[in-house]
């Protein structure tokens, strides 16, 4: 795969690249098999579980799986936003979030509750948004409460590999999701998790889409520039 604008849905039989896109998992393997901030080196290997889902086995922790970072709100929330935007606007973000800049890896298996991927999807204060997830991760490293604190704490050994939030950001090339002081750039108004995580107006929805597309495009370029993976 040598195209940062490649839509990994094109490589998925079931329509969900996080489940079965060999190209997506090969890209994850290439990007994240490298030295960790704690001095260890992590090596990823693609395996399949008994249901045919792809996973990333590694030499440090339990298996990882791919996760689409940013929602487009045209799935389970479709009924809420019917007619808000033109179809080409929806299709643009659907495409962009399925490029490599719109994916990350998390631990794959449950530990006495939802995985990180599952928890951020079902929690109404997060609604699968990566900016809000990242704010929870930032607070976790500071031992501060958040809607995902208990879930993140179950995977404490994963986050310990990166030592602190700054190293987590740098390892996964997430600099475009934060400002120069490592404060999260929120794609919708943020009031400490009190308001709905969903867009409340057409203008908010369009602004969310535009900001999300911009951030993912910047991360795609960063991946090309700063990784050892050849695109």
pLDDT digits (tens, 9 = 90+) for 91-149: 999 999 999 999 999 999 999 999 999 999 999 999 999 999 999 999 999 999 999 99
Average the pLDDT over 150-179 and give the result: 98
Q: pLDDT at position 50, please?
A: 81
**Can you give the pLDDT at residue 231?**
53
Confidence check: pLDDT of 230 > 70:
no
Q: What is the pLDDT of residue 52?
A: 84
User: What pLDDT is attached to residue 75?
Assistant: 79
- pLDDT tens-digit profile of 180-229? 999 999 999 999 999 999 999 999 999 999 999 999 999 999 999 987 55
The total number of residues written for the chain in this structure:
231
Residue 29's alpha-carbon distances to 17, 45, 48, 224, 228, in angstroms, are: 15, 7, 14, 15, 11
- 44-48 and 54-58 strand pairing: antiparallel
Residues 106 and 117: their CA atoms lie apart, in Å, by 7
Query: What's the mean pLDDT in 28-33?
Result: 96
- Whether 5 has a pLDDT exceeding 90, the answer reads yes
User: Could you give phi then psi for residue 152, rounded to 5 degrees?
Assistant: -60, -35
What b/e sequence results for 122-137 when a residue is b if at least 16 CB atoms lie within 10 Å of its CB, and e otherwise? ebebbbbbbbbbbbbb
């Amino acid at each position: 795969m040598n195209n940062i604008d490649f839509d990994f849905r094109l490589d998925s039989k079931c329509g969900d690249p996080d489940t079965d896109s060999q190209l997506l998992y090969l890209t994850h393997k290439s990007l994240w098999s490298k030295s960790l901030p704690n001095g260890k080196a992590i090596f990823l290997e693609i395996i399949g579980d008994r249901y045919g889902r792809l996973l990333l086995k590694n030499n440090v922790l339990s298996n990882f799986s791919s996760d689409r970072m940013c929602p487009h709100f045209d799935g389970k929330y479709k009924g809420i936003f019917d007619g808000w935007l033109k179809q080409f606007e929806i299709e643009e973000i659907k495409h962009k979030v399925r490029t490599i800049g719109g994916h990350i890896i998390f631990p794959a298996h449950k530990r006495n509750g939802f995985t990180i991927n599952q928890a951020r999807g079902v929690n109404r204060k997060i609604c699968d948004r990566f900016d809000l997830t990242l704010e929870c991760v930032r607070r976790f490293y500071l031992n501060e409460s958040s809607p995902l604190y208990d879930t993140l704490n179950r995977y404490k050994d994963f986050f310990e590999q990166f030592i602190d939030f700054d190293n987590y950001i740098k390892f996964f090339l997430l600099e475009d999701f934060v400002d120069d002081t490592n404060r999260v750039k929120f794609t919708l108004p943020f009031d400490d998790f009190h308001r709905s995580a969903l867009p409340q107006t057409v203008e908010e929805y369009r602004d969310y889409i535009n900001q999300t597309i911009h951030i993912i495009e910047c991360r795609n370029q960063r991946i090309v520039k700063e990784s050892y993976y050849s695109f």
